[in-house]
Structure 1
Amino acid sequence: MAKVYIIHENSDWTEHLTQRLDELNVPYEEWFLDEGTLDLTEEPPEGVFYNRMSASSHTRDHRFAPEYTQAVLHWLESHGRKVFNGRRALELEVSKVAQYQALGVHGVRTPKTVAAVGGKEQVIQAAKAFGTTPFITKHNRAGKGLGVQLFNSIAALEQYVESPEFEVPIDGITLIQEYIDSPESSITRCEFVGGQFLYAVRVDTSEGFELCPADACTIDDLNCPIDGESSGEQFLIIENFNESIIQQYQAFLQENQIAFAGIEFIRDKDGQIYTYDVNTNTNYNSDAEAKVNKYGMLEIAKYLREQLEYATGTKV
């Protein structure tokens, strides 16, 4: 029987989707890709496939999950299977350098960024050549705000990189990025399902950078609004959001064959929008959604049901 196959490495982020698929009586199977084997002589099963692999998988001790997933996606796509958020989406998920280049093709402004490849010495050299302060550092392959630190001087950066807190990113690439001075302590995250705009959510960043919209996060996501602990206002869906950037985002998603994504931007004191992150493994906050009766995972489940019906020619 043809099914929806969900590729992931974090059940806490996937159970909200499977609950919705259960509600809609959509047949599905989870593929938890952490480690294992892949027989290239076999044919994949029939159905549609949804890739939810995360850039932060290594923080959950799933070091090679993206690499394993990339191999599986090659296998699926070479056999003509319908894959949502396939190889290109995963490439962008695990590299902000790739994201910024792809966004730029569609005229989307991103913060000035320099990539430092290697360790401490390269990070300091890149910051010195950067030419402006303040600046921030972040990991190229990240998720959860990994490596995000604000610096007002090179001396402060040097002290940081020589401290136990400094961590070389999993791919060896640290980004030096201009700090966007925003009059509000918030960012905006635009959610897309099937490549179309669903809603925009205002995210309060006054308590720090490691912010995740999911209801269930790992214990070190200190600012993640776990059910029962969220203030309810940290994530607030914006009614009647209508910015021209949405058309650019949709063109970017179509060009890169991304069906589901959350794209984040910040606005400077002059109102200029800077886009700084694309999340192809998007999550949603249930408290914020309940207030406006819009549910991202429900819309994804409906979309996957439609695609499964189209692929099989039968009603689910």
Structure 2
Amino acid sequence: MSTLPPVHILFENPDWLPPLRDALHKEGFEYTEIPVHHGIISGPPAPGIYLNRMSPSSHTRGHLTSVALTREILAHLQAHGARVVNGLAAFELEMSKLRQHLTLQRFGIRTPRTALAVGTEHLVSLARTFEGPFITKHNRGGKGLGIERFENADELQDRLAQGDFDLGPDHQVLIQQYIQAPEPFITRVEIVGQRMIFAMRSATDEGFQLCPSDVCQVELQREKAQAAALADNCPIDGGAKFSQSPLKADDPLVLKYLAMCAASGIELAGIEFVEDAHGHRYTYDINGTTNYNQTLGRQMGIHGMEELATYLRHVVAPQVMAELG
């Protein structure tokens, strides 16, 4: 029997759990898995470490109650003094890309111009205030779903007239300045605790669905293969979609990320930026339910979930054990 405190995993998508299970087992943790789309909140929570793995894309898997229920669970845990990795403050930030934009700006981090609208007429009106191309995205997003690029407001108005534009789970849609990168990739900085464990490049020439999880990539390639079969084309190979970035841990931008995470209660994050032709780096997304590409991990010799489990073992577990006496 382990002498470590148990880990309670709050989750919605079981397909993302196997690498985490393996990493926790390797570090000697016992764990429970708590699906957060139904259940009961009552009485003091069980002792241990709570790991928040709730995703803003839960609605795409039919779990329409998960985000609201997670808010209540995290508030309940916080009220009882439970140790939560990525607790309520971090969760609220992940559920709103507009709040992410505001938080990034507060820490002096460059962002694309970003604004929110509810209602299609307001969306078009807002778009007319943007110069140059822009993208639309859900305020509560996930996996890059719902992102579309437009050259101008008239093009967006025509798209809305088609009647199948996805307004997202809350009908809150962002318009965000499109940053043209000289090379088709974005950079994602992976943070565990108060350090960068690695940074990677994600190729964008195939679209905006950049979830690095192996499960996500299998699903995306399956969709492309099906579409290619209908079009009588060969599917695109996504094997080289991710590669290691040369970004260093002492880069000034990374140091700003770490300061922001520390002040915002974020212990686990994948933060994304894009660089324009002038070398300006624009940060646009903070992923708290971050996943890792195992193929890239094997190439680099750095495994994200193992880094997380090590952090739980050497940093979080001693905190919990000290509180228990």
* TM-score exceeds 0.5: yes
How many Å separate the matches in 2 of 1:212 and 1:240?
A: 20
| Partner residue in 1 for 2:168 | 169
- Say if 1:291 and 1:239 are closer, same or farther in 2 by CA, change over 3 A: farther
CA deviation string 1:78-108 (max 9, x = no partner): 1111111000111011100111111111101
How many Å separate the matches in 1 of 2:130 and 2:207?
A: 25
Q: Give 1:111 deviation, angstroms.
A: 0.4
How many Å separate the matches in 2 of 1:232 and 1:282?
A: 20
1:17 aligns with 2:20: yes
- Say if 1:224 and 1:13 are closer, same or farther in 2 by CA, change over 3 A: farther
| Partner residue in 1 for 2:102 | 101
Residues 8, 34 of structure 2: 8 Å contact kept:
yes
Q: Provide the aligned length of Structure 1 versus Structure 2.
A: 307
The alignment partner of 2:305 has SS state of: helix
- More displaced stretch, 188-197 vs 231-240: 231-240
Q: Give 1:109 deviation, angstroms.
A: 0.9
How many Å separate the matches in 1 of 2:56 and 2:25?
A: 27
| Partner residue in 2 for 1:37 | 40
Task: Map 1:1-316 onto structure 2 (within 5 A).
Answer: 2-39=5-42, 42-118=43-119, 120-128=120-128, 130-217=129-216, 221-222=220-221, 231-239=238-246, 241-242=248-249, 243-306=251-314, 307-313=316-322
Residues 187, 245 of structure 2: 8 Å contact kept:
no
Residues 9, 33 of structure 1: 8 Å contact kept:
yes
- More displaced stretch, 230-239 vs 104-113: 230-239
How many Å separate the matches in 1 of 2:222 and 2:163?
A: 22
Residues 203, 242 of structure 2: 8 Å contact kept:
yes
How many Å separate the matches in 2 of 1:115 and 1:3?
A: 41
Q: Percent identity?
A: 38
Letter in 2 for 1:24: E
How many Å separate the matches in 1 of 2:306 and 2:203?
A: 24
- Say if 1:273 and 1:52 are closer, same or farther in 2 by CA, change over 3 A: same
Name structure 1 gaps, 5 residues minimum: none
Letter in 2 for 1:171: D
Name structure 2 gaps, 5 residues minimum: 225-235
How many Å separate the matches in 1 of 2:283 and 2:192?
A: 19
Letter in 2 for 1:280: G
How many Å separate the matches in 1 of 2:306 and 2:266?
A: 18
CA deviation string 1:250-274 (max 9, x = no partner): 0000000110000000001100000
- Say if 1:8 and 1:230 are closer, same or farther in 2 by CA, change over 3 A: farther
Residues 139, 147 of structure 1: 8 Å contact kept:
yes
- Root-mean-square deviation over aligned CA pairs: 2.1
- Say if 1:218 and 1:286 are closer, same or farther in 2 by CA, change over 3 A: closer
Q: Give 1:195 deviation, angstroms.
A: 2.6
CA deviation string 1:255-306 (max 9, x = no partner): 0011000000000110000000000000000111111100110010111122
- Say if 1:293 and 1:150 are closer, same or farther in 2 by CA, change over 3 A: same
The alignment partner of 1:6 has SS state of: strand
What is the TM-score when the length of structure 2 is the normalising length? 0.89
Stretches of 4+ moved more than 4 A in 1?
222-225
Residues 289, 295 of structure 1: 8 Å contact kept:
yes
- Say if 1:220 and 1:153 are closer, same or farther in 2 by CA, change over 3 A: farther
Residues 215, 224 of structure 1: 8 Å contact kept:
no
How many Å separate the matches in 1 of 2:217 and 2:130?
A: 36
Q: Give 1:147 deviation, angstroms.
A: 1.8
Residues 193, 311 of structure 2: 8 Å contact kept:
yes
Residues 134, 175 of structure 2: 8 Å contact kept:
yes
How many Å separate the matches in 2 of 1:17 and 1:138?
A: 29
How many Å separate the matches in 1 of 2:319 and 2:75?
A: 22
